């Protein structure tokens, strides 16, 4: 990873975009917290903790999701793709902080992380191609789906290149510009489900757990 000697305009742009991005996400977080837990006047029949645990863990297993076990390659690619997104975000945060720290990442570590992101990038590309090629997926897709999938895939790809080959010509500028575009879109497009997913699972598990209607596995 590059050791910076001064803060350039693209560093400032990335910092501004990140502050705005996470500021919007914080606003979403406060809004979701303000809703509280689901309101249900029915008599409690089960354990909410069991329902929440099932919603976060058991129900996400492929054997419990018809859409997963019927399309296992796509499910697996999606999991890897999401992990790649989390890794790319962590590396972006580190890169922004590293502007002042100036820590040089070991070359081998950069190659390993870059290789992992290359795999997740290919998974994202595969998911995007499937959405484009299959008519049944195109029928309920909208521009947000394509932009979110495409931009996230590009973000992972450029992160992989920047981490593995930090001295490529202009790679630093391209990396931070792509990161800015991703950060601007992140809290506005469907990519914001990175936050809403956890609240949706909490509400789902609480509601059905309280009613005791969650499947036993």
Predicted local confidence at residue 65, as pLDDT: 75
Backbone angles phi and psi of 42, in degrees to 5: -70, 155
Q: Report the pLDDT value the prediction gives residue 182, as an integer from 0 to 100.
A: 97
> DSSP labels for 29-67?
HHHHHHH-SPP--SPP-S-HHHHHHHHHTGGGSGGG-HH
State the pLDDT at residue 146: 97
3-class secondary structure per residue, 67-134: HHHCCHHHHHHHHHHHHHHHHHHHHHHHHHHHHHHCCCCCHHHHHHHHHHHHHHHHHHHHHHHHHHHC
Residue 21 structure tokens: 């991005």
pLDDT of 43 reads 76
What is residue 56's predicted lDDT score, i.e. its pLDDT? 85
Q: What whole-number distance in Å separates Cα of residue 137 and Cα of residue 141?
A: 6
Can you read off the two tokens belonging to residue 216? Answer: 């036993």
What distance in Å separates the CA atoms of residue 205 and residue 209, rounded to the nearest whole number? 6
pLDDT at 40: 72
Which pLDDT belongs to residue 134? 94
Report the percent of the chain where pLDDT is more than 90: 62
Mean pLDDT per segment of 10 residues, for the chain of length 217 residues?
Answer: 71 96 95 84 78 83 79 91 97 93 91 98 97 93 96 98 94 97 96 90 84 70
Percent of the chain with pLDDT over 70: 95
Q: What is the pLDDT of residues 96-128, one digit of tens each?
A: 999 888 888 999 999 999 999 999 999 999 999
All structural domains of the chain = 43-211 (1.20.950)
Alpha carbon distance 181, 178 (integer Å): 5
Give residue 94's pLDDT: 95
The token pair at 163 is: 């981490």
Predicted pLDDT of residue 215: 67
Q: How many CA atoms lie within 13 A of 144 on its CB side?
A: 10
pTM listed for this prediction: 0.88
């Amino acid at each position: 990873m590059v050791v910076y000697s001064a803060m350039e305009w693209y560093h400032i742009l990335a910092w501004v975009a990140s502050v705005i991005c996470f500021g919007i996400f914080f606003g979403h977080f406060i809004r979701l917290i303000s809703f509280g837990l689901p309101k249900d006047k029915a008599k409690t029949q089960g354990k909410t903790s069991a329902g929440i645990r099932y919603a976060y863990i058991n129900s996400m297993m492929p054997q419990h999701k018809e859409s997963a076990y019927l399309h296992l390659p796509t499910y697996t690619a999606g999991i890897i793709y999401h992990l790649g997104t989390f890794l790319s975000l962590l590396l972006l945060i580190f890169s922004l902080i590293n502007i002042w720290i100036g820590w040089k990442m070991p070359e081998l570590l950069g190659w390993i992380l870059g290789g992992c992101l290359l795999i997740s990038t290919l998974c994202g590309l595969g998911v995007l191609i499937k959405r484009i090629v299959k008519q049944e997926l195109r029928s309920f897709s909208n521009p947000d789906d394509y932009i979110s999938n495409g931009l996230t895939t590009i973000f992972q790809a450029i992160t992989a290149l920047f981490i593995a080959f930090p001295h490529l010509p202009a790679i630093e500028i391209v990396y931070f510009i792509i990161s800015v575009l991703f950060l601007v879109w992140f809290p506005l497009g469907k990519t914001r489900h990175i936050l809403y997913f956890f609240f949706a699972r909490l509400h789902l598990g609480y509601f059905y757990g309280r009613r005791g209607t969650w499947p036993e596995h």
